[in-house]
Structure 1
Amino acid sequence: MITWCLWQRRNRIREKQPTWTLTEVALKAKELLNELLDVQQKILRDVQPRSPVRWNPPSEGMYKANFDGSIFSKLFLAGIGVVIRDAYGNVIAALSQKITLPHSVDLVEALAASRAVCFNRELCISKVEFEGDSQRVVTAINNQAPSKTMFGHVIEEI
């Protein structure tokens, strides 16, 4: 913290901006360190133990396409990822793609599923099992009735 404050002071002097005196540098460093420690203590929380998740291979002669979405709200972006593996767990192909932030997490997951389907078509892979972690999206895809969700248009496309 002291090094950072000294560096800031140096840059401000160089740019002819108002800065701290040398005695204030130590006080500012202490303030910043206390702020960091306060934030770190607040972040700590009880971790709930989860049952281990294992990837299960597809049936012999099949491929498995795993898809997932993630949100980067501060950047107003979302990410889509797809990994295609054979029955031995070997990665056949993978992709990641940034998209503009949709209005919901479910829509990000639905778009990831849609991209997984398109990616398989692009690779001419026909015997594929799809797997995602969003129960709402997977249920909507497997449902025979039209989806009346906000992401139903993507499900219909799939």
Structure 2
Amino acid sequence: MMMWSIWTSKNNLLWKDIPWNISEIVHRARNSRQNWTLANHRPLDARGIPGPTSTTQWSPPPHGSYKCNFATFPNPDENTFGIGFCIRDSLGSFVGARTLKIPGLPPASIRDVIALMQAIILASENQYSPILFESSSSRIESFFLHPNLKDRTEFSGIMNHCRNKINSYKINSCANFNVSFTHRSANLVAANLAKASKYYANLKDFAYIPNCIFSLIVNELS
């Protein structure tokens, strides 16, 4: 995997004039190895066909892009819920983070979609593009994968608003926003930020890695 990653960087330098970056080479090799391992250890279904894979470790986004992981956490004592956002680049480097405290305690699915809306706002404010919004809500990803699926729930109403906002940014500012699902164990940084939100002001931005996620960030880079 390492030789393949080096070969890829060599071609990028030759054909795309993209400079060598040792950290990126290592990350690419590690992630390719992980994906290969997952692909070769998938359980078989009744027909003997490998089942779907699930990513259990955070992985960086493609070269030149960002990833925003987000999660929510209920605070019933305060009748609020917290949202945590963490933005990292294609090298896995910390770019920024935000915690947000929202009044009220709606169902988990509504909290998740409110978090997505706030993540879109955060990305547009800071011009993070292209960017992948990643959460542990499979329902959010499913909604984007099936655009013709319609219902009259509050969840769908907010999700349609999110989708319209994403499409608007793509048209007006050429921003490239996408959404995906990840396993909870690959979303621990955002989850810890969401839990810590109760100790900060209603909105708190971090230019440096906060203590509550420092060890997680370091471990995911190693």
TM-score, structure 2 normalization: 0.45
What's the counterpart of residue 57 of structure 1? 60
Partner SS for 1:131: strand
Offset of residue 74 of structure 1: 2.1
Going from structure 1 to structure 2, the CA distance change for 1:110 and 1:80 (only over 3 Å counts) comes to same
1:151 alignment partner, SS class: helix
C-alpha distance in structure 1 between counterparts of 2:118 and 2:143, whole Å: 16
Within the candidate set 58, 76, 81, 1:78 is matched to 81
Aligned to 2:122: 119
**Highest CA radius of gyration, 1 or 2?**
1
The answer to whether residue 108 in structure 2 is matched with residue 132 in structure 1 is: no
SS in 2 for 1:75: coil
Whichever residue aligns with residue 55 of structure 1, its letter is W
Coordinate RMSD, CA, aligned = 1.9
Residue deviations 1:63-102 (CA, integer Å, cap 9, x gap): 1011111111122010111111001111111101000124
Query: Counterpart amino acid of 1:131?
Result: E
Q: Secondary structure at the match of 1:117?
A: helix
Is 2:158 the partner of 1:154?
yes
C-alpha separation between the residues in 2 aligned to 1:112 and 1:147?
21
Deviation at 1:116, TM superposition (A): 0.7
1:25 corresponds to: none
Name the SS for the 1:68 alignment partner: strand
8 Å Cα contact 1:80/1:111 also seen in 2:
no
Contact 2:76 2:105 in 1 (8 A): no
**Aligned-pair CA distance for 1:52:** 8.7
Paired residue type of 1:120: A
State the alpha-carbon separation in 2 of the partners of residues 147 and 73 from structure 1.
31
Q: List 4+ stretches of structure 1 deviating above 6 A.
A: none
**Could you tell me which of 49, 66, 69 is aligned with 1:66?**
69
Give the structure 2 partner of residue 31 of structure 1: none
Superposed CA offset, 1:124-152 (max 9, x none) = 11200110001112222333125423311
Aligned length: 108
What is the percent sequence identity of the aligned residues? 27
Unaligned runs of 5+ in 1: 1-50
| Whole-Å separation in 1 of the counterparts to 2:102 and 2:77 | 14
**Alpha-carbon displacement from aligned partner over 1:42-80 (angstroms, at most 9, x marks no partner):** xxxxxxxxx993101100111101111111112201011
Q: CA–CA distance in 2 between the matches of 1:146 and 1:117?
A: 22
> TM-score by structure 1 length?
0.63
